[in-house]
C-alpha cells in the first residue's frame, strides 16, 4: 500500500473510484453505444447482446495485460471486450473516440460520488440540528480576534454550521445539471464519425445512461464542469475544517469548554500519559489542506490546448478520487466527533466570568445611552471604566459604582446589566429558525 486512502482514510467512497468500477462504467457506456447502434439499424440485436454480455466476462487483469502491450487504457478495454464479444467484437466502440467513453463514464462516477456526499451531508445536518436545539440556551462567551467579546450560545455555533452545510448541499445539487452530461462527439467535437444520425446517437446513449448531452465539446467535455463540482466538495471540506478547528481551540487546556470523544483505552501521547489530544479534529484540518491543494490542479485543467491535450489526464486519476475520498472521510470523522462531543458546563461558566464583567461593557454602554447619555460619551465613559477594572483586576460592576454615572442605575438594574445569561438577544429564535426544515 502506498496511499493512505487505500486503508487508513478509506470509506465507501473508495468503491466508486476502484479500477474495476471505472472499467465497469466504461463498459456501460460502450454497451449504451452498441444499443444505440442497434436501435438505429447499424448492427443487429445479436451483435448488441454479444457486446452487452461481454461485460461480465472481461477481467481487469486482461485489460491491464493488453494495456502493457499497447499503452492505451481505453483501447485495452475495447480489445478485451471485443475478445469476449466473439464475432460481434468488431462493433465495440464503433464511431467513438476514447473520451466519448471516458468523459461520459466520469459523469457516472461523479453521480455516484455525489450521492455518497449528499447522504453523509444529510446525516450531518441531523446531528447539527440536534446539537443546535439542545444547546440553544447554553450561554457561552463569544470570541472575536481571539478575545472575549459578548455572550452567545452554543446553539448559535451549530446552527451556523447547519446553514453552511445546507448551502453547500444545495450548491452540489444545482451543479448536477452541468456535470451529469456525456458526449458522443468524436475526435474534435464535430460528431463526424456518426454521420447523419449523430445527434440521435448521442440522444439515445445519454438517455440509456440517465445523462444529459453536452451542447458543444472538443475531444473532451470542458473541465469547468468538473472544477465546479470539485469546488463545492472543497467547500464542504472547508466547513469540516471550520468545525474541527473550533473544537480544537475550545478543547485547549486553558479553555476546555468542549472536547472531541476520548475512548477509555485511547492513548493521547507516547510519552505524556495525561494527554487528551484532539487528534481526530487535527486530522480533519490536515486533510483539508490536501483537498484545497488538489483544487488548484482542477482549475489548471480548464485551459487545455486547442481541441485538447493530455495534461489533465494523469492528474485527474489522482485529484478526482482524492478530493472525494478525503472530503468524505472528513465528513465521517466530523460526524463521529459531533455525535460524541463532550461539554464542560463549569468551564463554560468560568470563561463567561473570566473577565470580571468586562464582556458586559457593550450592554452597559447601551444602557447609558438609554438613560440620555450620547452614544459616543457613553462609549468613552465605559471604556475608561473597563480599562481601570482591567488594570486593577476588579469587577467592572464594582468600578462602575464609583463613577459619576453610577446614580443613573438602581442596584437591580446593575445586576441585570451584568448578567450574561440574559444578554443573548434573539439567539434562541435565530437558532430555531435556522434549523427549521
- Distances in Å between the Cα of 102 and the Cα atoms of 114, 253, 285 are 18, 52, 33
Catalytic (active site) residue 145: yes
Dihedral sign computed on CA atoms, order 69, 75, 79, 84: positive
Q: Give the position of cell 454615572.
A: 405
Catalytic residue among 44, 173, 269, 374: 269
CB 159 within 8 A of CB 132: yes
Catalytic residue among 145, 270, 306, 410: 145
Instruction: Write the secondary structure of 245-302 as one string of H (helix), E (strand) and C (coil).
Output: HHHHHHCCCCCCCEECCCCCCCCCCCCCCCCCCCHHHHHHHHHHHHHHHHHHHHHHCC
Angstrom distance (rounded) from CA 215 to CA 77: 27
Nearest to 121 by CA among 17, 258, 239, 279: 239
Catalytic (active site) residue 269: yes
Angstrom distance (rounded) from CA 154 to CA 149: 15
**87's grid cell:** 464475432
Angstrom distance (rounded) from CA 33 to CA 38: 9
Sort strands 212-213 and 181-182 into parallel, antiparallel or unpaired.
Answer: parallel
HSE (CB half, 13 Å, CA atoms) of 203?
6
Q: In sequence order, what are the beta bridge partners of 181?
A: 212
Which residues are catalytic, by number?
145, 269
Amino acid at each position: 500500500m502506498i496511499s493512505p486512502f487505500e486503508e487508513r482514510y478509506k470509506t465507501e467512497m473508495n468503491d466508486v473510484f476502484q479500477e474495476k468500477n471505472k472499467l465497469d462504467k466504461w463498459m456501460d457506456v460502450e454497451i449504451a453505444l452498441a444499443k444505440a447502434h442497434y436501435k438505429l439499424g447499424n448492427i443487429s440485436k445479436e451483435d448488441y447482446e454479444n457486446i452487452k454480455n461481454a461485460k461480465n466476462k472481461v477481467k481487469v487483469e486482461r485489460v491491464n495485460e493488453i494495456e502493457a502491450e499497447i499503452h492505451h487504457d481505453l483501447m485495452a478495454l475495447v480489445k478485451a471486450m471485443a475478445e469476449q464479444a466473439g464475432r460481434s467484437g468488431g462493433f465495440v466502440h464503433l464511431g467513438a473516440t476514447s473520451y466519448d467513453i471516458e468523459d461520459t463514464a466520469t459523469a457516472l462516477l461523479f453521480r455516484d460520488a455525489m450521492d455518497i456526499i449528499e447522504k453523509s451531508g444529510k446525516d450531518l445536518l441531523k446531528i447539527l440540528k440536534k446539537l443546535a436545539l439542545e444547546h440553544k440556551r447554553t450561554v457561552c462567551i463569544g470570541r472575536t480576534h481571539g478575545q472575549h467579546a459578548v455572550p452567545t450560545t452554543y446553539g448559535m455555533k451549530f446552527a451556523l454550521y447547519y446553514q453552511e452545510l445546507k448551502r453547500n448541499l444545495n450548491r452540489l445539487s444545482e451543479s448536477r445539471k452541468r456535470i451529469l452530461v456525456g458526449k458522443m462527439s468524436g475526435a474534435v467535437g464535430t460528431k463526424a464519425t456518426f454521420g447523419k444520425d449523430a445527434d440521435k446517437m448521442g440522444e439515445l446513449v445519454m438517455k440509456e445512461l440517465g445523462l444529459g448531452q453536452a451542447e458543444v465539446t472538443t475531444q473532451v467535455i470542458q473541465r469547468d464542469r468538473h472544477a465546479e463540482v470539485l469546488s463545492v466538495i472543497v467547500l464542504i471540506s472547508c466547513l469540516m475544517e471550520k468545525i474541527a478547528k473550533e473544537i480544537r481551540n475550545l478543547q485547549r487546556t486553558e479553555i476546555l469548554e468542549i472536547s472531541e470523544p476520548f475512548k477509555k483505552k485511547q492513548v493521547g501521547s507516547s510519552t505524556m500519559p495525561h494527554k487528551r489530544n484532539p487528534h481526530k479534529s487535527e486530522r480533519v484540518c490536515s486533510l483539508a489542506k490536501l483537498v484545497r491543494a488538489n483544487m488548484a490542479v482542477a482549475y489548471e485543467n480548464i485551459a487545455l490546448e486547442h481541441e485538447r491535450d493530455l495534461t489533465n489526464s494523469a492528474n485527474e486519476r489522482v485529484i478526482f478520487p482524492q478530493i472525494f475520498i478525503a472530503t468524505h472521510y472528513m465528513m465521517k470523522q466530523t460526524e463521529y466527533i459531533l455525535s460524541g462531543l463532550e461539554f464542560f458546563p463549569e468551564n463554560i461558566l468560568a470563561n463567561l466570568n473570566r473577565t470580571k464583567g468586562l464582556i458586559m461593557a457593550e450592554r452597559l454602554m447601551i444602557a447609558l445611552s438609554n438613560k440620555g447619555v450620547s452614544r459616543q460619551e457613553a462609549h468613552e465613559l465605559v471604556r475608561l471604566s473597563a480599562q481601570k477594572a482591567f488594570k486593577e483586576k476588579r469587577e467592572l460592576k464594582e468600578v462602575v459604582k464609583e463613577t459619576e454615572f453610577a446614580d443613573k442605575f438602581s442596584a437591580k438594574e446593575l445586576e441585570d446589566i451584568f448578567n450574561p445569561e440574559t444578554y443573548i438577544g434573539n439567539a434562541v429564535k435565530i437558532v430555531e429558525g435556522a434549523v427549521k426544515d
